[in-house]
Every structure is written in C-alpha cells, then in structure tokens.
Structure 1
Amino acid sequence: MYTPPAFRDEDVESLRATIRASRLAHFVTATTEGPLATPLPLFLDAREGERGVIYGHLSKANPQWRQPPQGEALAMFMGPDAYVTPSWYATKRETGKVVPTWNYVAVHAYGPVEFFDDPERLQEVVTRLTDLQEGTRRDPWAVSDAPEDFIKAQLRGIVGLRMPITRLEGKRKLSQNRSAADRAGVAAGLAESEDPADRALAELIPR
C-alpha cells in the first residue's frame, strides 16, 4: 500500500483497533492462476504469535483455498472513508488551487495462510466470530442455540483459515497534508453529513 509519511500509522494498538472495527475484510492470495480475493468477516487474536493471528472461514465451494498461495496472503481492513470536496478548504477561497480527494483509514495485514477443515477448530472459529458480532446485541444468538447435528452439517460446508501476521501496514489519510484551516473545514463539512461514516471520519481529522 502506497503510504506517504504524513499518512503512515505505525501504532500497533491503532492498527489493531482498525482491524477489530472492520465489519468485512478482503482476503487476497496470489496464485499461478492469478490473484484471488474473497470478502470475509475476519477476526484478530492478538494474544497468539508475535504480531497476532487472523482467523476466518470461507465456503468449501470457494476455489481460493484449493489454489496454493504464491507467497504471503493479504487481508485488507477498511475503516471510515469519505469524499472530500474542495469547497470545504479555506484555500479554495484564497487561491482556488484545490482539487477533490478521498480520506480513509486502512490496514493491510500480511502472512502465510493455512486452510483447515478440522471440525473442532472450525467450530471454535465460527463460535468466536459469532460471539464478536453478536456481543453488542440485546439478545445475542449463540452457535449453541442451533441443534448440534445442524451445526456439524454446516461446518462440513466451510474451510477455516489461519494467517499469522508477519507485517502490518496502516494508513490514515485524514488531510494531514493540508493547513489547519483546511482541516477544520473538512472536519466541519463531514460533521454536517447525513452519512454516519462521514461523521465518524470527521472525529478523526487532526485539529
């Protein structure tokens, strides 16, 4: 990921927070047949390994897991993002020398990937992923709520993935390369949006 110094995020806790907040990631592998990518909910176990381990699962019918990866796999996590109009910049009123851009938060995690179909490991991954997604609901659903035989049948249709992280890249493109007046204009413009993602990004703009 191309990341100019002004936008680089090297804080481990910040990177992990972005991963945890991402509802859907893109899992990418390079193969002899070309790159393969699947949108997947993934979770981070920060206690495992030197830099943490990414877990998830994909359909057994998905050909991605059958193609041997060439080198490391890549998991891409996106935080809030928003279009930035030049109209918000103080510089527009001063010189007019401005153009549109896009602000966003992103983390790329790299590592070797292992695919597995052991039922016990699969059920653990599915349970942990479900608990993370259901944890904020008033009446959370649990894997144990479904009949055991039904869950076992469902597990036969998926493949687990485990990716120990060897490298993390973080980017927070939040108008850091603009003047304080321009950043204030961007933050104010995003804060007035009806889109919750725009308003979330407004809170991240450096003042």
Structure 2
Amino acid sequence: MTTRTIVSASTVVPARAAWSAVVPAGRTLTITDLHGNQAVDFLVYDAHDTTVRYSAADTIHAQGNIFLTTGSVLLSNEHTPLMTVVEDTCGLHDTVGGACSKESNTLRYGHHTWSQHACVENFLAEGSRHGLGKRDLVPNINWYMNVPVEKDGTLGIVDGISAPGLEVVLRAETDVLVLVSNCPQINNPCNGFEPTAVRMTIGTEAAA
C-alpha cells in the first residue's frame, strides 16, 4: 500500500497547482477561497481502498439536487458516506461541470489552447503520487463554481458567487484521500479569468 502523509496544518495552494492529503475520519477539511471567484476541482477516495471513490450519481440521487451546500453528503460508488458538508458560507457548489482538460479546452476554445495546463493534468500528476491513474478519475466536484442549468437543459459556466474568505467545511466520515486541482482555467469565468490561491486546512477536531 502506498504510504500517504497526513497534513495537519493549513496549506496555501497556489493558483493552478494541485494538492492532496489524507483526512482521518472525524476530522474536518476547510477549503477557503482566499481571493474570491476561484473554482476548486475536488475528488475523494476511501484512503484504504481507492476503488471506493466519490460518485456524483449516487450523491445527486440521494440528495435530489445537483448543487452542494451545508448538509450535503458525498457518497461513494458503494453508496457509503465519504464526507459531509458541515458548514458553507458560499451556498452553492457544482457537481456536473466536470474538470477542464487539454482536449475539452481545444474543443471549446480552439487549438491554440492545447498547451494550457488543465485540471485533468493536475489530477493525473497528483494522483500518481498515490498509485492512481487515468481510470481512477471520475466526475468531480467543483467547489465555488457557478454552473446554472438553463431552461433548455444546457449548462452555463458563469461568474462565480464566491467572495474573498468564504469557506466550505467538510467532515470526513471515514479515512479519505482528497485530490484537489486549484483550477487553472482562463478561458471562461469560473476563475474570473485569473486563477488565484486557496487555502486547505485539516482541523484537529470534527465540527459538532
């Protein structure tokens, strides 16, 4: 089994960078949008068996909502709880927009964007440190990203509703491995066209 380091202090994740850590059961992970309007792409796995991982389909079905906020439970592909949102000062987070990639950038914005760094590359690089590969990437959460559903069913990617200092706090329901891509996208408004840093804090105690 791959050895994983438990981070117990705050870490500022620079713009466009990746981050990962194990969050032990009962402890909290706080994601702070330091400058506002910064999307944070997020994947979570059972730390002891990474074949058990976040399932967007199970999570959306169980809560009857495609958006996440306080009280939302992140369920696995085995319908077991991985993490619970225990506090949220933003109020809306995306489950369906997915992660940007070189391929999707090229399709949406033109071949001149092929060389731009993207979230899929962040996930692959950071995941490789934990024995994860491309087949282990699943539809992800986008904290702070504003993806409304239009009347015709299409998805929009529009200006965020976050602001400097807003936070989302998650409690680990089991030992989990978290992967983060602090989104580098500059071709749509999800990061205000200027990616910025965020802070990740693993708490010593779970929220009551």
Same fold by TM (over 0.5)? no
Q: Which has the higher contact order (CA 8 A, sep 6+)?
A: 2
Query: TM-score band, normalised by the shorter chain?
Result: under 0.3
What's the TM-score once normalised by structure 1's chain length?
A: 0.27
Output the TM-score relative to the length of structure 2: 0.27
